[in-house]
Amino acid sequence: MRRSLFILMSMIAAGCTSTSELSTRDQKVKLITLDPGHFHSALVQKSMYADVDSVVYVYAPEGTDVQLHLEKIDLYNKRADDPTKWKEEIYLGDDFFQKMLSEKKGNVVMLAGNNLKKTEYIKRSIDAGFNVYADKPMAIDAKSFEELREAFSLAEKKKLLLYDIMTERFEITTMLQKEFSLIPEVFGTLEKGTPENPAVTKESIHHFYKFVSGSPLTRPAWFMDVAQEGDGIVDVTTHLVDLIQWECFPDQTLDYTKDIQLNSSSRYPTDITLSQFKAITKVDQFPDYLQKYVERDSILKVYSNGEFNYKIRGVHAKVSVKWAYKAPEGTADTHYSIMRGTLANLIIRQGAEQQYKPALYIEPVDGATNDYSDQLAAKIKDVQTKFPGVELKKLDKGWEVIVPDKYKEGHEAHFARVTEKFLEYLKKGNIPDWEVPNMIAKYYTTTQALEMAKKNK
């Protein structure tokens, strides 16, 4: 069934044609949104971009997923402050994917939805000549990792861009953690660590019930099915592994066949009651495909939690993710991160003391010299040239990095930053040499961690 509708909406996310085409002609990026099912598909459209056509082509099956997506876009178009001006041309039908491939109305496919078929969508879209801008995770198991590897190879041959949405690189405390780690007089060098005391640890706590763009988020029922969404160990951890690679080995190319060694991995479920499930999804009963995870007719076991310990280029790292039903009043999703250096530890905390807002701390270790304070005072000036207004506040154990409000954009705003970077790569017709091999290394790490966790059960 076909319906052509035009609805004002927001859209940003992808922009890609053959990268060479965009660099040789002044051609607009024409975005295709394919089967949107995750709210990230709408967040990619919360801003507008000079190089992106205002008409967005949406191909999807009929149902709640696409309608929720369109409602969010409409909300962005109608907001009082800086409304977007997207027009969405929509095709709904069971043959939506074939229709997209055959009509070729756009040059960039944006993917954020059910992950079961995402890698197939990626590969077939590239094979058809589209660039792809995809939400994480692009692969959720060892089988789809191999398919993703093939997709990257195909994209290289066809001179197309395949890129995932790594918003956390644009979170200010993470950016500053990386910045300070690159200053030998402040950080020293990165420790190697041990499995018991890793050099780098990143932990993330998320919640199924949350607010997005000011409204309660309705998640699709399939989001609770790890066969469709992916285990927590291959989902949110994608960001954490990406940050470890990006911060510890900046601008360096990683080889997953040599540089990654998994040491241990585990996974465990979050218990969701039927009433909680209703609040999250607005669905009254557990669908048939979830029954295999249901105990005592009312408790859904969602394998959204896990952790793994691995070695990357000789550096021991630990990643963990936890999901709860709902954050306590006044709290939100939180992040903890530590990079251990020979002179200081760089720690991001986001607990009650920080009012659940991320804060970066510099804490000297025993090996720090007596004139460490003087060195830090001198080197903060270098940081301030890149981040004007950043200051240091002395504490008993070290310093807190004070960040001006202008840098605290929030998670939703980071989608625009990633998209701008994607469009930049697209327009230039190239991407840093390390990006693709490091994306491959990232998904190898997460999918192999899942394989190990399942075996350890």
- Kindly report the pTM of this predicted structure: 0.92
Non-local (6+) Cβ contacts of 322 within 8 A are: 203, 204, 205, 206, 232, 270, 304, 305
Q: In the predicted model, what is the mean pLDDT of the chain?
A: 92
Q: Are residues 199 and 348 in the same domain?
A: yes
Kindly state whether residue 453 falls inside one of the protein's structural domains.
no
Q: Quick check: bond before 137 cis, omega within 30? A: yes
Q: Are residues 370 and 235 in the same domain?
A: yes
Kindly state whether residue 434 falls inside one of the protein's structural domains.
no
Q: Are residues 300 and 180 in the same domain?
A: yes
* Residue 126, pLDDT above cutoff 60: yes
Q: Are residues 57 and 126 in the same domain?
A: yes
pLDDT digits (tens, 9 = 90+) for 319-333: 999 999 998 777 778
Kindly state whether residue 441 falls inside one of the protein's structural domains.
no
Q: Please report which confidence band the pLDDT of residue 456 belongs to, taking 50, 70 and 90 as the band edges.
A: confident
Cα 424 from Cα 422, distance rounded (Å): 5
Q: Are residues 153 and 177 in the same domain?
A: no
Q: Domain of 355: which CATH number?
A: 3.30.360.10
Identify which of 205, 166, 184 has the alpha carbon closest to the alpha carbon of residue 415. 166
Q: Are residues 31 and 139 in the same domain?
A: yes
Q: Where is 402: in which H helix or E strand? A: strand 399-402
Q: Are residues 274 and 155 in the same domain?
A: no
Lowest model confidence (mean pLDDT) among 23-32, 142-151, 168-177, 211-220: 23-32
Lowest model confidence (mean pLDDT) among 2-11, 140-149, 154-163, 209-218: 2-11
Q: Are residues 141 and 216 in the same domain?
A: no
**3-class secondary-structure state, position 454:** helix
Q: Where are the beta strands (DSSP E) in 105-166?
A: 108-111, 131-134, 162-164
Kindly state whether residue 252 falls inside one of the protein's structural domains.
yes
Kindly state whether residue 427 falls inside one of the protein's structural domains.
no
Q: Are residues 59 and 179 in the same domain?
A: no
Q: Are residues 200 and 281 in the same domain?
A: yes
Domain count across the chain: 2
Q: Are residues 159 and 173 in the same domain?
A: no
Domain of 340 in residue numbering reads as: 169-409
Q: Are residues 42 and 94 in the same domain?
A: yes
* Residue 242, pLDDT above cutoff 80: yes
Kindly state whether residue 207 falls inside one of the protein's structural domains.
yes
The tokens for 15 are 């922009």
pLDDT digits (tens, 9 = 90+) for 375-393: 999 999 999 999 999 999 9
Kindly state whether residue 347 falls inside one of the protein's structural domains.
yes
**Rounded average pLDDT over 279-305:** 95
